[in-house]
Amino acid sequence: ASCERVFDPSLEGRPVVVLSNNDGCVIARSQEAKTIGVRMGEPIFKCKQRVKNDSLVIRSSNYTLYDDMSRRVVESIREFIPDIEIY
């Protein structure tokens, strides 16, 4: 959910969830989503039943974005620790 906020600052302070490949289950959630009871791995239809208001922001997974953010983080770390092993 943090990666989604980098490019959409309007999501700051709002409950955000990211869904699995087929938009079936929650695979990432913001602290605000945790606070309102959204569980990791929870099917989205159950989430929608429990969270009745429209404040929950639901995003499909965006692996291109996550790959880009991961590369940026690794590049930043390499500035300080040149010999790192990528897991």
Structural fold of domain 2-80? MutS, DNA mismatch repair protein, domain I (3.40.1170)
> What pLDDT band is residue 10 in, cutting at 50, 70 and 90?
very high
What is the average per-residue pLDDT within 54-82? Answer: 91
Q: How far is CA 24 from CA 42, 46, 82, in A?
A: 8, 10, 39
pLDDT at residue 7 tops 80: yes
pLDDT recorded at residue 54: 65
The CA distance from 43 to 24, in Å, is 6
Domain borders along the chain are 2-80
Residue located via tokens 């239809």 = 45
